[in-house]
């Protein structure tokens, strides 16, 4: 399960299938050095993305 306190790079390492969702929301943080340190909630906030919507979509997309 993905949580809002996970870093963006951690999410992408564990669940690479989430990349299209990050791209669709304009969160190109995966290509940035800060992705190793930036929590999902902060990245969403900076890009004015609703964290609850993003989190729900990310969790629906992961392959368990």
Q: pLDDT tens digit string along 14-35?
A: 999 999 999 999 887 666 777 7
Q: How confident is the model at residue 36 (pLDDT cuts 50, 70, 90)?
A: confident
pLDDT for 64 equals 60
User: What pTM was computed for the model?
Assistant: 0.87
Domain layout of the chain by residue ranges: 8-61
pLDDT for 37 equals 83
- The pLDDT mean for the chain works out to 90
**Secondary structure (3-state) at 47:** coil
pLDDT for 30 equals 64
Q: Report d(CA 18, CA 62) in Å as an integer.
A: 7
Q: Which residues contact 46 (CB under 8 A, 6 or more apart)?
A: none
């Amino acid at each position: 399960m993905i949580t809002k306190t996970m870093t963006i790079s951690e999410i992408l390492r564990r669940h690479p299938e989430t990349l299209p969702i990050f791209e669709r929301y304009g969160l190109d943080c995966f290509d940035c050095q800060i992705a190793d340190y930036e929590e999902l909630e902060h990245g969403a906030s900076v890009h004015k993305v609703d964290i609850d919507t993003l989190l729900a979509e990310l969790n629906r997309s992961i392959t368990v």
